[in-house]
Amino acid sequence: MAPIVLRTVAEVKSWAAAHHREGRRIALVPTMGYLHEGHLSLMREGRRRADVVATSIFVNPTQFGPNEDLSRYPRDFDGDLGRCASAGVEAVFAPEPGEMYPPGYQTYVEVTDVSQGLCGARRPGHFRGVATIVARLFTLFRPQVALFGEKDYQQLQVIKALNRDLYLDVDIVGMPTVREADGLAMSSRNAYLSAEQRQRALALSRGLRAAQALYASGTHEAPALVEAVRRELRAADLREDYVEVMDAERLVPLSTVAPGQAARVLVAAFSGATRLIDNMPLGG
């Protein structure tokens, strides 16, 4: 069955209120559309954890910088509706920008510590936009559970902090990165890649796996783990944006991964003009 399409804040409030009155548990999957299997895995898990699943399809302008790809971000709304139906989504919130940011809008949410460094340093204001739109979606839907992919790992930590610090009481579920058969992390921005650029982009996952293998062999010093990733980026002629080994929860840089410590190795690099991100766990 095709999901109902909600276009206004009032429609979302009415839809959510009806389900809350009936005692139904709502799962929310916020997206910017151009859905792929990674998004659908979140929706299917939402079905498992809740009575009804809603998603948002909104290319949020406040999380794009002035020289980023807001205008050309890939869109396929009709295709997305079909994918949502296949995953059991009941409602899709697809507002116009003016609905979410009407004249006079002036309230923004900022999560300070875990938004520093990594993508936060390279994309100023990005996580303020993310935190603001997610806080507003949580306020509108009042979901019991919300699901996000671990590919956007820093974003996930920002949302967990937002949820905790504002007492929003949403069960935040981070789901494993879904990959193509050759290891490339699924991303809407993969659509920008030529065949040759896509092949070179495999260096991100190869480098991360090399770091994991090095860690498993007993090397826990961050510089060596970082170099394992960089070696693959150089071999593929990718332009590095960052490679970091971080504490998995606090997202502070580590010089060494201590025994039992949960850590992540995170990478961002350009294949052609397209910036891609990926990460994998270490330890824990």
Q: Strand (E) positions, the chain? A: 4-6, 26-31, 52-57, 91-93, 145-149, 171-175, 239-247, 262-271, 274-283
Q: Per-residue DSSP letters for 6-36?
A: E-SHHHHHHHHHHHHHTT--EEEEEE-SS--
Largest distance between two CA atoms of the chain? 58
- Here the tokens at position 100 are 């979410």
Q: At 192, phi and psi to the nearest 5?
A: -75, -20
Cβ atoms of 177 and 150 within 8 Å: the answer is yes
Alpha-carbon distance 196 to 205, whole Å? 16
pLDDT tens digits for range 207-257:
999 999 999 999 999 999 999 999 999 999 999 999 999 999 999 999 999
CATH number 3.40.309.10 is the correct assignment for the domain at 188-283: no
Q: pTM for the complete prediction?
A: 0.96
pLDDT tens digits for range 159-190:
999 999 999 999 999 999 999 999 999 999 99
Catalytic residues: 39
CATH number 3.40.50.620 is the correct assignment for the domain at 4-175: yes
Instruction: Note whether 4-175 and 188-283 share their fold.
Output: no
Alpha-carbon distance 270 to 157, whole Å? 23
Helix (H, G, I), strand (E, B), or coil: what is residue 116? Answer: coil
Residue from 90, 103, 165 nearest 135 by CA: 165
- Here the tokens at position 264 are 């992540």
Instruction: List per-residue pLDDT tens for the chain, 284 residues long.
Output: 899 999 999 999 999 999 999 999 999 999 999 999 999 999 999 999 999 999 999 999 999 999 899 999 999 999 999 999 999 999 999 999 999 999 999 999 999 999 999 999 999 999 999 999 999 999 999 999 999 999 999 999 999 999 999 999 999 999 999 999 999 999 999 999 999 999 999 999 999 999 999 999 999 999 999 999 999 999 999 999 999 999 999 999 999 999 899 999 999 999 999 999 999 999 86
The residues spanned by each domain of the chain are 4-175, 188-283
